[in-house]
Amino acid sequence: MTSGKARTTAALSAFFACALTSVAFSQTASIDEKAQTCLQCHGEQGKAIDPSYPSIWGQHQGYLYLQLRDFKLGNRKNEIMNGIAQDLSREDMMALAEYFSQKTWVNLNQPRASEADVKRSETAIVSGQCGACHGADGVGAGTTPRINGQSHDYLLKTMEDFRAKVRTNNPWMSDILGTLQPEDLQALANYYAGK
């Protein structure tokens, strides 16, 4: 991620964060209505408006729910999502998680990783045992997320966040990624994004 890009993203986020505080969720809104807010960022058609935002369409329900819960508890820190999750009840979070899990995973048509990146990733995947939890193909299940086909910039950002213990809601992922080098994370992001 270039620093120019980072700045745009931050600005955008700030804009939406403000916009959102006024969109507080009404108790009576249906899940369909509540989900509309999410689409503003995560994409009307499932492709997020910014590559550093994650795809959530077709992600596993258990995983989506736990992230919303962690945003609400503050165990996972993100200015935007912390604000959004604040107003959600457990039922809302479960229903939103179900709603998005039932959508079709969106193909972002990201380029395949270079041979060098594939080679580097394969070594990292063996040493980090990524396949044991995320599956050989990276599609995950239950509370373990799909990572294959996820947006490249988001993958890289969130892995770096785990590694730096900025993302703190899974110490185990932090430990694993802590044993890898920054270049490994770049290769892995290319690898899983383009898979």
Partner 1 sequence: MVSRTRQSLAMLAFALSAGLGATGYASAQEIKTASKWGDMNSVTQDLLSRAAGDGNNFLHTNGNYAQTRFYPNRQINVANVSKLRPAWIFQTEVKESLETSPIVVNGVMYVTTAFNHVYALDARTGEELWHFKHKMGPITVYCCGPNNRGVAVSGDMVYMATLDAKLLALDAKTGKQVWETQIADPELGYSETMAPTVVDNKVLIGTNGGEYGIRGFVKAFDTKTGKLVWTFNTVPENSVGVWATKDATGRDMKRNIDAEKAQLAKTGDPYKTLGGGVWQNPAVDLETRRIYFVVGNPSPDLDGSLRPGDNLYTDSLVSVNLDTGQYVCHLQYIAHDVWDLDAVSPPIITTVADKDGKPIKGVLHGGKTGHVYVHDAKDCSLIRFSEAMVPQENMWVLPTKEGARMLPGANGGVEWSPMAINPNLNLTYAINLHQPMTYHVESSNYPAGKLWLGGAFKVIPTEEQWGNVTAVDYNTGKIRWQVKTAQPMIGGILATAGGLVFTGEANGQFKAYDAETGSNLWKFQAGAGVNAPPSSYTVDGKQFIVVGAGGNTQIDYKRGNSIIAFTLAE
Which residues of the chain form contacts with partner 1 (CB under 8 A)?
A: 60-62, 65-66, 69-70, 73, 75, 94, 97-98, 101, 126-129, 132-137, 139-144, 169-172, 174-176, 178-181
- Exposure string of 53-75, with b = 16+ CB inside 10 Å and e = fewer, is bbbbbbbbbbbbbbbbbbbbeee
The letter for the amino acid at 144 is: T
* Alpha-carbon span 88 to 136, nearest angstrom: 34
Among 61, 81, 110, 152, binds ligand HEC (CB under 6 A): 81
Whichever of 51 and 140 has its CB closer to partner 1, that residue is 140
* Alpha-carbon span 118 to 113, nearest angstrom: 6
Residues 176-195, interacting with ligand HEC (CB under 6 A): 176, 188
Q: Which of the choices partner 1, ligand HEC, none does residue 110 contact, using the CB cut-off of 5 to 8 A by kind?
A: none
Name the minimum Å distance from CB 98 to partner 1.
7
- Looking at beta carbons, which residue is closest to ligand HEC? 128
Residue 144 backbone dihedrals phi, psi, to 5 degrees: -100, 125
Does 31 participate in binding ligand HEC (rule CB under 6 A)?
A: no
* Alpha-carbon span 139 to 59, nearest angstrom: 9
CB 82 within 8 A of CB 168: no
Name the minimum Å distance from CB 109 to ligand HEC.
19
Residue with tokens 């980072």: 6
Residues 103-162, interacting with ligand HEC (CB under 6 A): 124-125, 128-130, 132-134, 143-145, 147, 150, 155, 157-159
DSSP bridge partners of 144: 141
Does 42 participate in binding ligand HEC (rule CB under 6 A)?
A: yes
Residue 24 DSSP one-character state? -
Whichever of 79 and 175 has its CB closer to partner 1, that residue is 175
Q: How far is CA 26 from CA 20, 34, 44, 58, 92, in A?
A: 13, 9, 21, 25, 11
What count of other Cβ atoms lies within 10 Å of the Cβ of residue 114? 13
The binding site for ligand HEC (CB under 6 A) comprises: 13, 16, 20, 34, 37-38, 40-42, 53-54, 56, 64, 66-68, 78, 80-81, 84, 96, 124-125, 128-130, 132-134, 143-145, 147, 150, 155, 157-159, 169-170, 172-173, 176, 188
